[in-house]
Homo-oligomer: A and B are copies of this chain.
Amino acid sequence: MPRPSANADTSRRILDTAERLLQTRGYNAFSYADIAQSLRVTKASLHYHFRTKAELGQHLIERYQQSFAEALADIDRTSSDSRQRLRRYIDLYLGVLRDGRMCLCGMLAAEYATLPKSMKTELKKFFDENERWLIEVLEKGRAARELRFSGPARETAMLLISSLEGAMLLARSYDDVARFDATAHGLLAALTVDS
């Protein structure tokens, strides 16, 4: 995915480090120097693998999106009902937060106005895919009388994404995962038939 002739493992380690920096500090608040220091290589070496920071950023979103898509596919395969699917969807966010990180795409959404065009395009794909997956879960859940909500499923899907991203943002500012839990609990309770 980076330069075709590059060592895959090195490229992966660069992405891992850049991902952590992006999710904790933001795209505009980390540099090639930060990655280089963490991996004990020079900045010039990083540019061999990812020519520009914009290119690196684009790869980060693509990889994050793919990883998320795989997690969603796993939830689809191994969950029995819609309520469990939603619970596990929320747990994806929780896992990121427990690692001291913000959702990569939520972070980039805040910095949206300053991002290169290629990153803006990739970013929207992530949210579109999340929305698409949630709409299906919500509609099937309502049909099976496992979930309860009024109006179009898309409206509730957008509410879910917004709430979870916002809850991560706030929980990180208070360094308090319990804040996220409380919000997620209220959200799930409002959607569950026997609330």
Integer count of this chain's copies in the complex: 2
The one of B25, B167, B169, B190 in contact with A106, judged by C-beta atoms closer than 8 angstroms, is B169
Chain B residues with CB under 8 Å of A154's CB are 182
Total interface residues on A, CB under 8 Å, equals 47
Residue from A24, A110, A190 having most chain B Cβ neighbours under 10 A: A110
What sequence of 0s and 1s flags, for each residue 108-121 of chain A, a beta carbon within 8 Å of any chain B beta carbon? 01111110000010
Known: A162-B166, A169-B106, A179-B158. A186 touches B111 (CB 8 A): no
> Are A25 and B166 neighbours in the complex by a CB distance under 8 Å?
no
**Is A43 part of the contact surface with B, judged by Cβ < 8 Å?**
no
What sequence of 0s and 1s flags, for each residue 136-165 of chain A, a beta carbon within 8 Å of any chain B beta carbon? 000000000000011100111011011111
Chain B residues with CB under 8 Å of A161's CB are 166, 170
Chain B residues with CB under 8 Å of A124's CB are 173-174
> Are A114 and B158 neighbours in the complex by a CB distance under 8 Å?
no
Further contacts, 10 of them, CB under 8 A, given A158-B183, A162-B167 = A102-B110, A106-B166, A120-B173, A123-B173, A149-B190, A158-B179, A162-B163, A162-B166, A162-B183, A190-B190
What are 20 contact pairs spanning A and B, CB under 8 A? Answer: A25-B113, A26-B26, A26-B114, A29-B114, A109-B172, A110-B111, A113-B172, A124-B173, A127-B170, A155-B183, A155-B185, A158-B167, A159-B167, A159-B183, A161-B170, A162-B170, A164-B166, A165-B170, A166-B167, A169-B169
